Amino acid sequence: MKQILQKSDRAGRIAKWAVELGEFDLEYRPRPAIKAQVLADFIVECTVPDDLELPLTPAEETPRPLWVLHADGSSTLGGSGAGLILTSPDGVVAEQALRLEFPASNNEAEYEALIAGLKLAKELKVEDLKAFSDSQLIVSQVQGDFEAKEPSMQKYLQKVRELTSALGSFSIQHIPRTENLRADQLSKLATSRMSELSKTTALEYLQTPSTEEPEPTMCIDFEPSWIDGLIHYLQDGTLPHDELEARRIRRQSSSVRPI
């Protein structure tokens, strides 16, 4: 400071500032220290507490377990077959091969493989399924991009729609044959070298197309009736071992008149 004041130019500037500020009633005081309470209040006011509940964005629903189906069908001079692989979310694999005991085109065999996979998924109570097929035609028809013009294709497509309607969600995607080799192998082994199928692979013989399956009928259980014994006696002459019951049936039969 002593050196600053010794320089004429700096000293002159200080003197000039003193003259200009002298007209104001200024009082210089040393800067006091900030009180600790003020600082504490400032921190509390400007700091977000750790337990403050911030608005949360709606959490996405946890996706349900997704099953995966690979299906493929083949038709050759030696016969037609279908193969499918159904994989659970835990990685458990179920393989099935079908030998088609009826004439089928390659597209029909492809549909049979897909339908067999959907039936298996239904039996296992699968809710969400993603299917893969190397048939561009089948995938496009199921997705609705291509129209099924042939009557047989229309029936197959309708069957697929019936089965997928029971699922929570379903999607199908076309993949190259190189990514569907195992299902393709199963479809071919079902018609040529069945002995080479793995012991864990289920083999099924399909006698008729899936589109010609009979409609399920309602089964009604009949409870035993008093007239059962009379009917048996009239039809084939058999009587119960109980003598009293046999006499009753003979007596009743005498009053029955043939039509």
Low-confidence residues in the chain, pLDDT < 50: 1, 4-5, 33-36, 38-39, 42-44, 218-220, 255-259
Q: What is the pLDDT of residue 139?
A: 95
Q: Encode 126-188 in three state secondary structure.
A: CCEEEEEECCHHHHHHHHCCCCCCCHHHHHHHHHHHHHHCCCCEEEEEECCHHHCHHHHHHHH
Q: Quick: pLDDT tens for 159-213.
A: 999 999 999 999 999 999 999 999 988 888 877 776 777 777 888 899 999 998 7
- Give the percent of the chain with pLDDT over 70: 62
Radius of gyration over every alpha carbon of the chain, rounded to an integer in angstroms = 44
Q: What is the pLDDT of residue 169?
A: 94
DSSP at 37:
H
